[in-house]
Amino acid sequence: MIRLTLFKLGMLVQLLLGWTALSANIINVTEFGVIPDDGQDDRQALQLILDSLKDGDKVYFPSGTYSFSSALRLSGKIGIEIYGSIGTNTSTLMATGFDPFSSKVSWTSLLEVRDCKDLVIRDLFIDVDKPVSINGTIADIGNSFEGNFYILDLLPEFAEYASRLADLKIMHQLSYDADGTPNYHISTHFELANGNYPRIEKLGTLRLKIYNDHANKLTRGEHINLRLKITGNPCFSFLGVNTLTIRDITIWQWPAFAMYVSDLADSRHRSSDMTLQRIQMKPKPTSGRLMSISADGIHVASMSGTFKAERCEFVGLGDDAINIHSRLCTIGKISADSVLLINGWTKAPVEDDWAFKDDIIEFLDGKTGLPKGKSKVRFRDKGHYQLQSIPKNICVGDFAAKDTRTPSTIIRDCMVSNSRARGFVVQSNKVVVSNNKIWNISGPAILLSCDMDRWFEATTVKKALITGNRINNCGKYLRWGDTLTGYGAIAVKTGHEIGGIDKPAGVHRNITIRANTISDCANSAIFVSSTDGVKISKNRIENSSHGSSIPYYGNYAIYLKNCVNDQVFDNSFNQVKKLLGKD
């Protein structure tokens, strides 16, 4: 309260003098009532600054730590730049108020941006005031009349929770190999909102006894990560942001997506063109934490233009490092000039931010996934889309994908390691994934997809180049229930998890996989399905397909399923079970 009063008083004095620094181009937040490193909540003072910005202003955070109890919001601005100190004296934005002992499973964002254009965010560190997940090493395994259990010794850095260990609300348990690869020996979710969380007994200062039906699958010495919260809002939420540049941002931990991008129904600007440079999401160097981000690192749900990530690093993520897609809908009704589109995920009429006037919709066969035609949007209202013309052969139950609101994707010179799901999931018309290093990932390092089975994420790939990537120990463990779903270290499918391999050739087209180095993958190094025009050449594949956990297909270093116009040549193999399979 004192801080806010001083802030308002300072503003009033400046206005009385006929001058306000908020009309200047650079706003130093410490000159307006914001005090770093004092542990007090800076949110209200900072929000007043953001609300007073003019187009083109720059907001500067000098070195120090700034605390936030809830989200900052920026809307309706053009040309804003938010940045911190450069060099050894860094600027940290600290989220506060995380409560691992509460069954409430949502949390606020750090920054929500709506309806903005030409936004730059750079040179900042992001953290949370308490660990959002904790981990340790399995000391013992056993069973009793109460069920299977394991004994877990937590790392000393989690001592702040020691007095109330038995009260922790655990959302998810995940096991890891000694090298930090999530191995899915256990991967157990709990619904905290319904009071469904595991039974815990405290045996010592940092020793827990945790009951889990699958504890018998574990071995002593394995690591366990206890995710204390997964749901909630992204650290950065960008809705209706046109031309976004984020560079030199480090996020040490966050209990949900790190960055989320989508559209906004009633805004001047449409989400378009996102560039990420030197983004880091990883545990602090001094920490033994296994997990940094509890869910996806970057999740793009709707955007036009180009998504570009360069020289970024992702370590210890709870889900995909990068997931690029738009929403896949189904046709619920067809009239003379319009269609009713149903959100494949919610089964309700699709939201008005799904597509806009003059956007192009591509229709896909509801059974085969093959293209049926395109049309331009003339008008939209509550799931009803009036079109310039209706393709003659579309039917109720066919899919509708946003052709113009799925970005071209470029991912290059990035690193991903020790993460739970996949490295890059890309569902874009045009794709380039080049010169990345990806290792110790449960699922595929690179997955090109258009999920028509569960998540309903689009769109199909029209042209892709996967080249120069170094991939090690990927695609071995990822499961959906009791079924392994990795298929290949590089995989092309029509679904993320079970299935997604039986659609005919032509769902995806023109995919080149060239000059990648792939090693130590239990299943196929490269698995491609449902593609017309695939070229696989000059890849170096070592020690793959020996420990196959995917029946039949996983025995081949390269497998093509339902592909035509394919070329496979000049690849080198060493220590593989079988070279090439095809059906």
* Domain match, 375 and 438 both: no
Q: CB count, 10 Å around CB of 160? A: 10
Q: Is 570 exposed, middle or buried (0-12, 13-18, 19+ CB in 10 A)?
A: exposed
Domain that holds residue 494: 408-582
* Residues composing the chain: 583
Query: Is 376 contained in some domain?
Result: yes
Instruction: Give the whole-angstrom CA distance, residue 411 versus residue 418.
Output: 19
* Domain match, 348 and 380 both: yes
Q: CB count, 10 Å around CB of 372? A: 18
Query: Is 483 contained in some domain?
Result: yes
Residue 412, both tokens: 């290059």
* Domain match, 416 and 544 both: yes
pLDDT in tens, 193-220: 667 788 999 999 999 999 999 999 999 9
pLDDT score for 17: 38
pLDDT in tens, 361-412: 999 999 999 999 999 999 999 899 999 999 999 999 999 999 999 999 999 9
pLDDT score for 2: 44
- Domain boundary among the residues 227, 245, 264 is at 227
Residue 79 has pLDDT above 80, yes or no: yes
Residue 472 has pLDDT above 70, yes or no: yes
- Of residues 554 and 541, the one with the higher pLDDT is 541
pLDDT in tens, 80-120: 999 999 988 999 999 998 888 876 656 789 999 999 999 99
pLDDT score for 13: 39
* Domain match, 79 and 105 both: yes
* Number of domains the chain contains: 4
Instruction: Give the whole-angstrom CA distance, residue 359 versus residue 330.
Output: 17
pLDDT score for 266: 84
Contact assessment for residue 336 and residue 329, using Cβ atoms and an 8 Å cutoff: no
- Domain boundary among the residues 169, 203, 227 is at 227
Query: Is 7 contained in some domain?
Result: no
* Domain match, 418 and 563 both: yes
Q: Categorize the per-residue pLDDT at 335 as very low, low, confident or very high, splitting at 50, 70 and 90.
A: very high
Which CATH number characterizes residue 187's domain? 2.40.30
pLDDT score for 8: 47
Instruction: Give the whole-angstrom CA distance, residue 130 versus residue 118.
Output: 33
3-state helix, strand, coil in the chain (%, to 5): 10, 50, 45
Query: Is 255 contained in some domain?
Result: yes
Nearest 10 degrees: CA dihedral of 443, 446, 448, 450? 40
Residue 24 has pLDDT above 80, yes or no: no
Q: Categorize the per-residue pLDDT at 15 as very low, low, confident or very high, splitting at 50, 70 and 90.
A: very low
- Domain boundary among the residues 281, 315, 349 is at 315
Residue 544 has pLDDT above 50, yes or no: yes
pLDDT score for 479: 66
Query: Is 5 contained in some domain?
Result: no
| SS3 of residue 257 by DSSP | coil
Query: Is 3 contained in some domain?
Result: no
pLDDT score for 231: 67
* Domain match, 419 and 552 both: yes
Q: Categorize the per-residue pLDDT at 23 as very low, low, confident or very high, splitting at 50, 70 and 90.
A: low
Q: Categorize the per-residue pLDDT at 483 as very low, low, confident or very high, splitting at 50, 70 and 90.
A: low
pLDDT score for 362: 97
Mean pLDDT across 265-289 = 95
Residue 252 has pLDDT above 90, yes or no: yes
Residue 481 has pLDDT above 70, yes or no: no
Residue 293 DSSP label: B
Instruction: Give the whole-angstrom CA distance, residue 280 versus residue 126.
Output: 10
Query: Is 253 contained in some domain?
Result: yes
* Domain match, 49 and 34 both: yes
pLDDT in tens, 558-577: 999 999 999 999 999 999 99
Mean pLDDT across 169-188 = 90
Instruction: Give the whole-angstrom CA distance, residue 484 versus residue 551.
Output: 9
Mean pLDDT across 488-516 = 94
Give me the percent of the chain exceeding a pLDDT of 70. Answer: 93
Contact assessment for residue 436 and residue 415, using Cβ atoms and an 8 Å cutoff: yes
* Domain match, 166 and 299 both: no
Mean pLDDT across 530-545 = 97
* Domain match, 220 and 254 both: no
* Domain match, 449 and 525 both: yes
Integer distance in angstroms from the first to the last C-alpha of the chain? 70
Q: CB count, 10 Å around CB of 66? A: 25
**What is the average pLDDT value for the chain, to the nearest integer?**
91
pLDDT score for 497: 79
Instruction: Give the whole-angstrom CA distance, residue 105 versus residue 292.
Output: 18
Residue 119, both tokens: 């936004």
pLDDT in tens, 44-64: 999 999 999 999 999 999 999
Residue 478 has pLDDT above 80, yes or no: no
Which CATH number characterizes residue 66's domain? 2.160.20.10
pLDDT score for 66: 97
* Domain match, 412 and 267 both: no
* Domain match, 116 and 146 both: no
pLDDT in tens, 401-420: 999 999 999 999 999 999 99
- Of residues 304 and 4, the one with the higher pLDDT is 304
| SS3 of residue 556 by DSSP | strand
Query: Is 201 contained in some domain?
Result: yes
pLDDT score for 486: 73
